[in-house]
Every structure is written in C-alpha cells, then in structure tokens.
Amino acid sequence: MPHPVYGKPKHELKTLEVNLELPGRSNGYQTSMVIRGRASTQRADLWVIREQWRPEDNERGLAASDALAHVILTALQDRPDSQSGVERSLIGEGWEDVPLPF
C-alpha cells in the first residue's frame, strides 16, 4: 500500500543472499545455487536465480563459480530491481537487424 504522502516506495537492490550447496554423496554430487536479490523496503525477494549442475556439467566447479560471479557482477553494475530486470541483465535483450536505407 503506498504511503499517503510519499507514494509508492522505490524498491532498490540492497543485499544478495547466496545459498550454494556443494556436491556430495547426499545430493548425488550435484551443485545447487540460489541467489536472492533483496530490498530493505520489501518483505519478498525482488528476484531469485536458481541453478543446478550435474557432475558432468560442472567442469570441476567452473560452471558454478562462473554463474555466481556473473550474477554478482550483474547486481553490482546494473542493480536490477525485478525478476525481468535481472533476466534482461543476465541474458540480454534481442536486437533487430534494421535494413539500411540505401
């Protein structure tokens, strides 16, 4: 509900919560990662990124560490404040090849 004087709050990315489950026998040697973007003005998460790697896909931890570094860099540089915003930052938007006028 918006404040009667100040209006709707501007939710800004303030913290990241990272949960990285390391591979082991109990989880079938899979690596799991959940990163939550949080704002101090909102109870719910602004956005959530979930990834999971099988042992053959993780390349000795490189896939998980690269994904984690990419999300952290995106948070630092772009400060996405929504799920669509973080997806645009991570994946990018498509571009249109406009024909030249000549």
- The per-residue pLDDT for range 16-27, each reduced to its tens digit, is 999 999 999 999
Phi, psi of 82 (to 5 degrees): -155, 165
Q: Are 72 and 79 in contact (CB under 8 A)?
A: no
Q: Are 48 and 34 in contact (CB under 8 A)?
A: yes
CA 47 – CA 5 distance, rounded (Å): 28
- The per-residue pLDDT for range 30-44, each reduced to its tens digit, is 999 999 999 988 889
Alpha helices by DSSP H, 1-102: 55-58, 62-78, 83-91
Stated length of the chain: 102
- Specify the pLDDT at position 42: 85
- CA torsion sign for 14, 91, 71, 21 is positive
Phi, psi of 34 (to 5 degrees): -130, 125
Q: What is the pLDDT along the chain (102 residues), one digit of tens a residue?
A: 666 777 777 889 999 999 999 999 999 999 999 999 999 888 899 999 999 999 888 777 888 999 999 999 999 999 999 999 999 999 877 777 778 888
